[in-house]
Amino acid sequence: MKIHDNVLSAIGNTPIVRLNKCVPRGNFPNSPNSRHEFFGKVEFFNPGGSVKDRIALSIIEDAERKGELKAGGTIVEATSGNTGVGLGLVGLLKGYKCVFVMPEKISEEKRAVLRAYGAKVIMTPTGLGPEDPNSHYGVARRIVAETPGAYLANQYHNPANVKVHYETTAPEIWNQMDGQIDVFVGGIGTGGTLSGVGRYFKEKNPNIKIVCADPHGSILYDLFYHKEVRTPPASYLVEGIGEDMLPDNVHFQYMDDFVQVTDQESFKACRDLAATEGLLVGPSCGAALAAAIKYSEKLTKPSKILVLFPDGGRSYLSKAFNEEWLKTQKIN
Ligand SMILES: Cc1ncc(COP(=O)(O)O)c(C=O)c1O
């Protein structure tokens, strides 16, 4: 029988899909005759709907092995949504209580999913720094301190995050592409995906370029190129990527380039993916695609470019796929 004992073993092994229509075909300024190929690793096929299911399982099983999370315990996390969904799913099936703290800008759809899994959701004001006790990070820290048996998943700093991408996401891509890949593009939220996949690919072939899509307003671009923050952090609308602090899980040594993208570019690419490829994915996928296309313009030989699409578009129907909302945000 090929039956999953429960939904947790259905995490991972997501498909890679060739992008046919939403990407330019040749005529790049620096490489007029080149014809790059673009592919998407589509992570919404995970049971919780995002790449974060992978780290949820890895972080919780690591904590269980180390005895840091025991029966009857409570999983706590500051999360922009997807990690909460993954942890909610893992917590539900393994019998832990879950409490998630998130900024108000996160869509109502994402909060509703967490409640459906039986988790408690606490909202905090958007735009507070990580050291602020009222930020989602600060509130999560306080709940852990006050709750016996609580475990902070700590996705930004927990090495089990990078590890699972090194052990699953990257080898999956490597096998699916038969090792034929020139450029990997993704965003950084915690850094787990790019650091884990980056390390694996660099070990396999140091010529593979690891490229980060960074929203304008994030400080990562400055930190990567200048080792200091030159433009102060600013708010932007794409959820899940970009940073106003430097997580331990960001390992710059495996990365080659950072490409800045605007909300406008990210939301347009996101909508193009749905309208032309039938891939209803989230805005951070649009950001990654927009960065991949910009990056490809400076490549001088035909390249295979793999873009990681972290989540699906259904969580953003009231935003990215709503004309009225886009108008109020002045991004269409
Ligand atoms: C929607 C979305 N895209 C991208 C990412 C970035 O992935 P990572 O945390 O592995 O850097 C996240 C993570 O927070 C996310 O929620």
Residues with catalytic roles: 52
For residue 35, how many other CB atoms are within 10 A of its CB? 12
- Residue 55 Cα: closest atom of ligand 1: 10
Rg of the chain taking only CA atoms, in angstroms: 19
The DSSP letter of residue 44 is G
CATH architecture of the region 7-45+169-328: 3-Layer(aba) Sandwich (3.40)
Tell me the pLDDT tens digit for each residue of 1-26. 899 999 999 999 999 999 998 998 75
pLDDT-above-90 percentage for the chain: 84
pLDDT of residue 45 exceeding 70: yes
Give yes or no for a contact between 286 and 20, defined as CB atoms under 8 angstroms apart: no
CA–CA distance, 245 with 242 (Å, rounded to integer): 9
**Strand-pair partners of 152:** 76
pLDDT of residue 130 exceeding 90: no
> 156: helix, coil or strand?
coil
Angle in degrees, CA 124, 130, 131, rounded to 5 = 110
Tell me the pLDDT tens digit for each residue of 264-314. 999 999 999 999 999 999 999 999 999 999 999 999 889 999 999 999 999
Average of per-residue pLDDT across 104-114: 83
Atom 6 (ligand 1) nearest CA: 189
Q: Domain ranges for the chain, please list them.
A: 7-45+169-328, 52-152
User: How far lies 176's CA from each of 163, 164, 172, 198, 280, in Å?
Assistant: 20, 17, 6, 16, 22
Phi, psi of 92 (to 5 degrees): -60, -50
pLDDT of residue 134 exceeding 90: yes
| pTM assigned to the model | 0.94
Q: Is domain 52-152 annotated with CATH 3.40.50.150?
A: no
- Residue 239 Cα: closest atom of ligand 1: 1
Q: 193 CA distance to ligand 1 centroid (A)?
A: 8
pLDDT of residue 129 exceeding 90: no
Same fold? 7-45+169-328, 52-152: yes
Give yes or no for a contact between 33 and 26, defined as CB atoms under 8 angstroms apart: yes
pLDDT attached to residue 300: 86
Phi, psi of 250 (to 5 degrees): -90, 110
Confidence of residue 31 (pLDDT cuts 50, 70, 90): low
Contacts of 175 (CB under 8 A, 6+ apart): none
Tell me the pLDDT tens digit for each residue of 206-246. 999 999 999 999 999 999 999 999 999 999 999 999 998 89
Which of 140, 161, 137, 133 shows the shortest CA–CA distance to 62?
161
Average of per-residue pLDDT across 161-183: 98
Around ligand 1, the residues with Cβ closer than 6 Å are 80, 82, 187-193, 239-241, 282, 284, 310-311
Strands 16-19, 37-42: pairing kind:
antiparallel
pLDDT attached to residue 316: 92
